[in-house]
Amino acid sequence: MPKRGFLIGWIIVFFYSALSLRAEDGYRLWLRYDQIENDEVLARYRAQIRSVQIIGESATMVAVRQELDMGLSGLLSQEISFTGDEDYQLLVGTYSPDGPMSEMLSPNDIRNLGSEGFTIINKEINGRNTIVISALHDIGTLYGTFHFLKLIQTHRDISNLNIVSRPSIDVRMLNHWDNLDRTVERGYAGFSIWNWHQLPEYIDPRYIDYARANASIGINGTALTNVNANALILRPDYLQKVKALADVFRPYGIKVYLTARFSAPIELGGMDTADPLHAEVQEWWNRKAEEIYELIPDFGGFLVKANSEGQPGPQNYDRNHAEGANMLADAVAPFGGIVMWRAFVYSDEEPDDRHKQANNEFEPLDGQFRDNVLIQVKNGAIDFQPREPFHPLFGAVEDTPLMLELQITMEYLGQGTHLVYLGSLFREVLESDTYMKGKGSTVSKVIDGSLTDQKVTAIAGVSNIGTDRNWTSHPFHQANWYAFGRLAWDPEMSDRDIANDWIKMTFSNKEAVVDTLEQMMMASHQAVVNYMTPLGLHHIMGAGHHYGPGPWVSKMPRADWTSTYYHKADSLGVGFDRTESGSDAISQYHKQVTKEFASREDIPEKYLLWFHRVRWDEKVSSGRTLWDELCYRYQEGVETVEGFVRSWNDLEKDIDKERWQHVASLLQIQLREAIWWRDACLSYFQTFSDMSIPEGVPEPAHDLEYYESLVYPYSPGIRPRW
Ligand code: GCW
């Protein structure tokens, strides 16, 4: 083992020395280690860190050393000594009761760190104020190292540190919707970074940088393949490739997971059934698990989308989700693996309200899942809309471990071109109160296990990463990957603080830059909600690709794929009645929440049309009619983006040319599209309200026919056709 660790260590050294040769193209993400621009700050750090002592030689500790070497020598632009002389000012090492770190730290210092936590403290050692980074396991020490570098990147005082940090959630993972042909479902940043053709031999340096970036924010898992799964990934040759990735990621604490296609025993095993209660099917999965764990001893487990959007599942054999999930869970249990079973189900038959389907299928199964199964629940009951009320399942089952699925890629929020900071969306979801165990039962408390005694806790983000040089296409979408990781580690963190760190690490510590970008980012989520789906409107995007406005979409193979199903506009009003008088989806929430959402007075206005039908001429909280309010919201969204354009222009001198120009162009697209959304939606809804557009909101530039006639053969994920 040590030999292999050593080798991986050197691969890391080798690849990553090539990294700093590039211009500022965004490749380095938030791990930019350019010399600190502020002379005073620089001088202070230079005096504080000249010599570093690192204890430990595992592959993870090699990564620690590499990161510190690159980080400190870059940021401080001075030679850092790692020779182990007595003058060190920074000591980094993992604690063990009889190891060398036990001489520097008291048991008290390392209390409660768990398997991944770390501490960073200032200690008097050899008569000097020394910074000590430590943990109970090497991975904690690596996390502490990244944290320490962040302190320097964000110009924090490091003379009196007393930091203890450990993650609230066990499994913090990315879900890649990457197909084996390297296309990415709902991916807007190029192709899949997994080069299946050249693996396992060729280890693209990107894999290492991917692992570094993830480790720097505490992400410790990655599901490599699309939930719309291909059984081939479980074939022995593919597993060799997966193993190669797992070996690269291991020193960075990242476990690999795969999506399991439920029908794999048929497709790969040549069997004539995948019935989960069939002994031979169970046996096939048991053997498959054995084969995987033989290659990848720390394999994380399976992620499964079953009986949803055409994916096979237990219901094909008249079995339920629990029977399907438990079969897979039993296969991986002997090796410590988990199964993440998705609650995003919708069957071939149209439900009366899609909002209700997951609860309908999963509530009756409460308590029936093995303890190594987690039900992976999207943040809302429909589908990653610009804004959704939290999913009712979070407050509805007490004996089923739930995990949260967020979408980092922006399928419904402007895809690759709109500046939208998702930290705010994630925050809003996490702090929603489910009332599961009384007031304060927030979604974050449900998923971090503090309200239940679930064995393992987890959170997933659908990745926005691709082969684009800067990983995420829009430079600001890096912030969404970053924010996901930070919130997965600490779901109570403030989205503003996360944005603040990210800006300083990614762009600049200059006050003017930080203030402006922070303001833009913090306003951006509400802006996109305003210009796409204000006041609780939802799912009115173009059909299929979900690009651009399509409130008129009404003819699709099933009603719950249309927009008219969701907004139900007519001459009287607009909105989906989900109260008792309508679909009654509202009753799936805890009664406290049901009461609040059912009341026209108490419901937060941001969810109004999600749950209620409202007359066009009804007054809303501003005192305006609903119609006027809708117009103003659309306009406000556009004006916020106009503000972004001005703010960004003001920063031209403070931002490197390459990224400045890139974002400036993207903002033009965003502005054009915000106007398009406003004009198309208002033209359309006006045909029902029959009311005039209020003062201060421009008349749409074209008529409705024009907007309806637009087609976008270049929308991502669509095969261009005449
Ligand atoms: O959001 C919808 C997407 C599908 C996706 C599905 C899911 C992976 O439109 O592309 O499929 O959800 O989450 O399973």
Asked if residue 560 and residue 453 are part of one domain, the reply reads no
Q: Is 501 known to be catalytic?
A: no
Q: For residue 376, is it within any domain?
A: yes
522 part of a folded domain: no
The length of the chain, given as a count of residues:
722
Contact by Cβ (8 Å): 142, 215:
yes
Please tell me the distance from the alpha carbon of residue 319 to that of residue 273, in angstroms, as a whole number: 13
Amino acid sitting at position 458: A
Per-residue b or e along 409-445, where b marks 16 or more CB atoms closer than 10 Å to that residue's CB: bbbbbbbbbbbbbbbbbbbbbbebbbbbeeeebbbbb
Confidence class of residue 2 from pLDDT cuts 50, 70 and 90? very low
Tally of structural domains, the chain: 3
Distance (angstroms) between ligand 1 centre and the Cα of 270 equals 28
Find out whether the beta carbon of 177 lies less than 6 Å from any atom of ligand 1.
yes
Q: Is the pLDDT of residue 665 over 50?
A: yes
Give the C-alpha distances (Å, rounded to integers) separating 230 from 100, 272, 292: 49, 18, 16
308-327 pLDDT, tens digit each: 999 999 999 999 999 999 99
Query: Under a CB-based contact definition with an 8 Å cutoff, are residues 413 and 466 in contact?
Result: no
Alpha carbon 133 to its chain's center: 28
Looking at per-residue pLDDT, the higher value among 108 and 279 belongs to: 279
For position 285, which CATH number holds? 3.20.20.80
What is the Cα–Cα distance from 565 to 600, expressed in whole angstroms?
21
Of 165, 186, 201, the domain-final residue? 165
Answer whether 185 contacts ligand 1 (Cβ < 6 A): yes
> In terms of domains, do 258 and 353 share one?
yes
* Nearest ligand 1 atom to alpha carbon 342: 14
CA atoms of 578 and 359, how far apart (whole Å)? 14
Q: In this structure, is residue 40 part of a structural domain? A: yes
Is pLDDT above 90 for 5? no
| Tens digits of residue pLDDT in 361-374 | 999 999 999 999 99
Kindly report which listed range (532-541, 629-638, 711-720) carries the lowest average pLDDT score. 711-720
Q: What is the pLDDT of residue 19?
A: 44
DSSP conformational letter for 391: P
- Same domain for 552 and 442, yes or no, is no
Confidence of residue 721 (pLDDT cuts 50, 70, 90): low
Residue 545, ligand 1, Cβ within 6 A: no
HEC assignment per residue over 63-81: HHHHHHHHHHHHHHCCCCE
488: tokens are: 């997965």
Residue 9 has pLDDT above 80, yes or no: no
Is the residue at 315 inside a domain? yes
Q: Is residue 73 part of a domain?
A: yes
Does residue 515 lie within any of the structural domains? no
pLDDT tens digits, one per residue of 130-145: 999 999 999 999 999 9
Q: Indicate whether 564 and 433 sit together in one domain.
A: no
159 and 179 co-located in one domain? no
CA of 182 to the centre of ligand 1 (A): 17
Q: In which domain, by residue range, is 464 found?
A: 171-506
Residue 525 clears pLDDT 70, i.e. is over it: yes
Query: Mean of the pLDDT values across residues 300-315?
Result: 96
Q: Is residue 516 part of a domain?
A: no
Instruction: Give tens-digit pLDDT for 168-181.
Output: 999 999 999 999 99
- 717 pLDDT more than 90: no
Does one domain contain both 412 and 502?
yes
Of 143, 165, 187, the residue at which a domain comes to its end is 165
Residue that terminates a domain, selected from 473, 491, 506: 506
First to last CA, the chain: 57
User: Residue 295 has what pLDDT?
Assistant: 98
What is the Å distance from ligand 1's center to 348 Cα?
15
- pLDDT above 90 as % of the chain: 91
Nearest CA to ligand 1 atom 7: 344
Alpha carbons 267 and 276: distance in angstroms, whole number: 15
Same domain assignment for residues 131 and 195: no
pTM strictly above 0.75: yes
Per DSSP, the residues of 484-501 read: HHHHHH-TTS-HHHHHHH
Provide the CATH number for the domain around residue 643.
3.90.1330.10
Is residue 705 annotated as a catalytic residue, yes or no? Answer: no
DSSP 9-47: HHHHHHHHHTGGGS-SSSTTTT---PPPS-HHHHHHHHH
Residue 367 backbone dihedrals phi, psi, to 5 degrees: 90, -5
Residue 524 CA to its chain's centroid (Å): 17
224-245 residue pLDDT tens: 999 999 999 999 999 999 999 9
Task: Please state the atom number of ligand 1 nearest to the C-alpha of residue 311.
Answer: 14
pLDDT tens per residue across span 404-442: 999 999 999 999 999 999 999 999 999 999 999 999 999
84, 261, 370, 426 from 333: Cα distances, Å: 44, 18, 9, 31
Q: Using the atom order of ligand 1, give the atom closest to the CA of residue 546.
A: 9
- CATH code (residue 144): 3.30.379.10
Same domain, 630 and 649: yes
SS (H, E, C) 574-618: ECCCCCCCCCCHHHHCCHHHHHHHHCCCCCCHHHHHHHCCEECCC
Region for 327 from its dihedrals, namely left if φ exceeds 0, alpha if ψ lies in -120 to 50, beta otherwise: alpha
Q: Identify whether residues 90 and 182 lie together within a single domain.
A: no
Three-state secondary structure along 147-207? HHHHHHHCCCCCCCCEEEECCCCCEEEEECCECCCCCECCCCCCCCCCCCCCCCCCCCHHH
**pLDDT(474) > 80:** yes
List the structure tokens of 420: 């939208």
Q: What is the structure's pLDDT at 21? A: 36
Q: Is the CB of 303 under 6 A from ligand 1?
A: no
Instruction: Judge if 496 and 636 occupy the same domain.
Output: no
Mean pLDDT (the chain) is 95
Query: Would the pLDDT of 22 be above 50?
Result: no
Does 143 share its domain with 177?
no
pLDDT of residue 302: 99
CA of 612 to the centre of ligand 1 (A): 26
Max distance between CA atoms of the chain, in angstroms, equals 81
Q: In what order do the strands lie in the sheet with 90-94?
A: 52-55, 90-94, 128-135, 118-125, 162-165
For residues 84 and 196, membership in a common domain is answered with no
Annotation marks residue 388 as catalytic: no
| Nearest atom of ligand 1 to the alpha carbon of 177 | 8
> What is the whole-number distance in angstroms between the Cα of residue 365 and the centre of ligand 1?
23
pLDDT at 12: 54
Q: Taking 80 as the threshold, does the pLDDT of residue 7 lie above it?
A: no
On whether residue 585 sits in a domain, the answer given is no
Find the catalytic residue in 366, 383, 584, 658: 383
